[in-house]
């Protein structure tokens, strides 16, 4: 049955212009994530939201993110600083559904403007090399995780918030990269589950 469906499907229905464009942005984003442990969605979110729409963008990035996380997630687990990361991840889980709720009820054109502004600001901050230099108590971790979770649910771009906080932690580049990989990977399923429960996937 699968063979019949596959060979009867017109190729133009699969390899449309939009899919080719999205695939090019996806490959560039994947290379960035493989190098840094985060940032893929900053690269291809703008293309996806123009090509497919807000909810579809978050769903596509989430589903592909789950699949692409496997090769780098397990090797990173052994290098993670769980004492630093635990509170961040829990608080991100708590606020991610609120981000999904905002995504569902926000008008699409307004979503595109807000997402574009967020990506512009986050990319600018990352380019300046800015690091968080404040206190590193439970409150700052809860705020970093909560904001990251909200943005992950809202636009699929929660990773850079965690990364900005994590990269300011003293430690080796390998440990920081592992923390980035694990935190971003664990955030991926939350908006997918929320979107699935609302019937948008």
Q: What is the pLDDT of residues 138-180, one digit of tens each?
A: 888 899 889 988 988 888 787 778 878 877 777 777 777 888 8
pTM of the full predicted structure? 0.74
Tokens representing residue 111 in the block: 């979503």
Buried b (16+ CB within 10 A) or exposed e, 17-48: eeeeebeebbeebbebbeebbbbbbbbbbbbb
Q: What is the mean pLDDT of residues 96-112?
A: 83
Taking each continuous run of H as one helix and of E as one strand, the counts in the chain are 11, 0
């Amino acid at each position: 049955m699968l063979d019949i469906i596959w060979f009867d499907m017109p190729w133009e229905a699969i390899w449309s212009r939009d899919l080719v464009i999205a695939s090019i942005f996806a490959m560039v984003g994947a290379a960035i994530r493989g190098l840094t442990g985060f940032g893929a969605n900053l690269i291809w979110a703008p293309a996806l939201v123009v090509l497919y729409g807000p909810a579809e963008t978050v769903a596509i990035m989430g589903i592909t993110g789950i699949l692409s996380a496997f090769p780098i997630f397990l090797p990173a687990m052994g290098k993670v600083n769980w004492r630093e990361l635990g509170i961040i991840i829990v608080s991100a889980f708590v606020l991610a559904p609120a981000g999904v709720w905002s995504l569902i009820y926000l008008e699409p054109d307004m979503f595109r403007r807000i997402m574009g502004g967020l990506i512009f600001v986050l990319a600018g901050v990352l380019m300046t090399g800015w690091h968080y230099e404040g206190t590193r108590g439970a409150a700052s971790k809860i705020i970093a995780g909560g904001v990251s979770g909200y943005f992950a649910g809202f636009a699929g771009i929660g990773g850079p918030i965690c990364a900005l906080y994590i990269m300011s932690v003293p430690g080796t580049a390998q440990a920081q990269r592992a923390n980035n990989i694990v935190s971003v990977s664990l955030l991926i399923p939350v908006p997918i589950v929320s979107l699935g429960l609302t019937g948008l996937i």
